[in-house]
């Protein structure tokens, strides 16, 4: 059994999708459709930069989705691999959940792009720049990270935002609390605390204004039937009901990305092979979560050709 998984923010880089677009009409058409949906030449920012513009949350989120869907469409159209034929389920890390929903036809590509543009804008606007921050804890399990967050809060918001793998947990909240947490890591047996170069404190309660904005947007553009079931971030469990997923997408804005638990749940359900499309970020995480899991990450035409042979 196979799961197709899709990366989240931080996987963007200038030049993304350029090789696919040069080699495949399916990729070019994907990028053109996203540009048209956003009334923005996002594909040029993706291919040429500048990096500061691509990194803006409102650009990074639809760009990462567009690149992953282009990768999927090349796999489908150029190499004849059917997602529903080859896969048993899908999942995505944070914004990657929207990519996963697009992949299983719950959202159109145009709607996915517009929703992620809005999501990025709403998340950026929710907290003034400088008020919030995030940090990655290396060599930390969930229990140690939670104890550190509780100790560092001191009346501020300091919450576990991402449980990525057994050795990496991310905290999010007020900048002062995150700074305290980084300074206290050794007291909790954690190897390192690294401030993250993000513009807002994602996946914590400070994001409530963004959750409200997405609730309104998703009421107007709601998910449709899923061609394959999805493992949702905030519950780390299988979802196949569009109405339930609509609610979970709202909760996801302030809720924890339970990626480690999601991978373990997929493994428990019989998933043996994880295929990451459009990035090489989730693959290493999955390997750290379960060394027995088979992982393939595909970005290039060569990657996709090899993948098609492997699963064909």
Per-residue pLDDT tens digits for 25-39? 999 999 999 999 999
**Does 238 lie in the same domain as 157?**
no
**Does 213 lie in the same domain as 121?**
yes
**Does 210 lie in the same domain as 85?**
yes
pLDDT reading at 312 higher than 80:
no
Examine the residue annotation and report whether 203 is marked as an active-site residue of this protein: yes
The percent of residues in the chain predicted with pLDDT above 70, rounded, is: 100
Per-residue pLDDT tens digits for 113-128? 999 999 999 999 999 9
**Does 110 lie in the same domain as 224?**
yes
| Final residue before a domain boundary, out of 143, 169, 198 | 198
Per-residue pLDDT tens digits for 47-77? 999 999 998 899 999 999 999 999 999 999 9
pLDDT reading at 164 higher than 80:
yes
**Does 118 lie in the same domain as 6?**
yes
**Does 117 lie in the same domain as 19?**
yes
| Final residue before a domain boundary, out of 179, 198, 217 | 198
The answer to whether the CB of 160 falls within 8 A of the CB of 146 is yes
Active-site hit among 93, 203, 262, 297: 203
**Section 160-181 average pLDDT:** 97
| Residue among 162, 122, 115 nearest 138 (CA) | 162
| pLDDT score, position 84 | 94
The answer to whether the CB of 266 falls within 8 A of the CB of 229 is no
Split at pLDDT 50, 70, 90, the class of 197 is confident
**Does 230 lie in the same domain as 149?**
no
| pLDDT score, position 129 | 85
pLDDT reading at 267 higher than 80:
yes
Predicted TM-score (pTM) of the model is 0.96
CATH number at residue 153: 3.30.70.250
Domain that holds residue 156: 132-198
**Does 304 lie in the same domain as 185?**
no
Active-site hit among 11, 24, 47, 94: 94
d(CA 36, CA 70): 15
**Does 229 lie in the same domain as 110?**
yes
Q: Which of 17-26, 195-204, 267-276 bottoms out in mean pLDDT, i.e. has the lowest?
A: 195-204
**Does 153 lie in the same domain as 101?**
no
| pLDDT score, position 81 | 96
**Does 136 lie in the same domain as 122?**
no
**Does 210 lie in the same domain as 165?**
no
Split at pLDDT 50, 70, 90, the class of 298 is very high
| pLDDT score, position 168 | 94
Examine the residue annotation and report whether 94 is marked as an active-site residue of this protein: yes
| pLDDT score, position 238 | 97
Looking at beta carbons, which pairs linking 185-192 to residues 24 or more positions away fall under 8 Å? 185/137, 185/140, 185/148, 187/148, 187/151, 188/140, 188/144, 188/147, 188/148, 188/151, 189/144, 190/137, 190/138, 190/139, 190/140, 190/144, 190/145, 190/148, 191/138, 191/139, 191/140, 192/137, 192/138, 192/139
| pLDDT score, position 199 | 80
**Section 199-218 average pLDDT:** 96
CATH number at residue 30: 3.40.366.10
pLDDT reading at 11 higher than 90:
no
Domain count, the chain: 2
| Final residue before a domain boundary, out of 198, 220, 248 | 198
Mean pLDDT of the residues in the chain: 96
| pLDDT score, position 9 | 86
Strand order in the sheet with 230-232: 237-239, 230-232, 89-92, 2-6, 273-277, 294-298
Per-residue pLDDT tens digits for 84-104? 999 999 999 999 999 999 999
| pLDDT score, position 162 | 97
Specify the pairing of strand 192-195 against strand 230-232. Answer: unpaired
């Amino acid at each position: 059994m196979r799961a197709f998984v899709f990366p989240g923010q931080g996987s963007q880089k200038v030049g993304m999708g350029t090789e696919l677009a040069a080699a495949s009409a399916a990729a070019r058409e994907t990028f053109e459709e996203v540009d048209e949906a956003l009334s923005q030449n996002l594909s040029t920012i993706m291919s040429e930069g500048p990096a500061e513009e691509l990194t803006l949350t409102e650009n990074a989120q639809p760009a990462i989705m567009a690149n992953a869907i282009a990768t999927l469409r090349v796999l489908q159209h150029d190499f004849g691999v059917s997602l529903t034929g080859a896969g048993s389920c899908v999942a995505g890390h944070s914004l990657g959940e929207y990519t996963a929903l697009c992949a299983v036809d719950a959202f159109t590509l145009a709607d996915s792009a517009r929703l992620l543009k809005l999501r990025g804008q709403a998340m950026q606007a929710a907290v003034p720049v400088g008020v919030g921050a995030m940090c990655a804890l290396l060599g930390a399990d969930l229990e140690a990270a939670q104890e550190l967050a509780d100790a560092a809060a001191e009346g501020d918001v300091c919450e576990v935002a991402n449980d990525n793998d057994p050795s990496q947990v991310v905290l999010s909240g007020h900048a002062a609390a995150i700074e305290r947490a980084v300074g206290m890591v050794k007291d909790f047996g954690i190897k390192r605390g690294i401030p993250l170069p993000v513009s807002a404190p994602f996946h914590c309660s400070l994001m409530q204004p963004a959750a409200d904005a997405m609730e309104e947007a998703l009421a107007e553009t709601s998910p449709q039937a899923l061609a394959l079931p999805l493992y949702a971030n905030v519950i780390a469990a299988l979802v196949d009901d569009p109405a339930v997923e609509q609610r979970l997408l709202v909760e996801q804005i302030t809720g924890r990305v339970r990626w480690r638990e999601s991978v373990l749940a997929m493994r428990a359900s019989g998933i043996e092979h994880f295929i990451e499309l459009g990035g090489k970020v989730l693959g290493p995480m999955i390997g750290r979560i379960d060394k027995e899991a088979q992982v393939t990450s595909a970005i290039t035409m060569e990657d996709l050709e090899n993948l098609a042979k492997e699963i064909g």
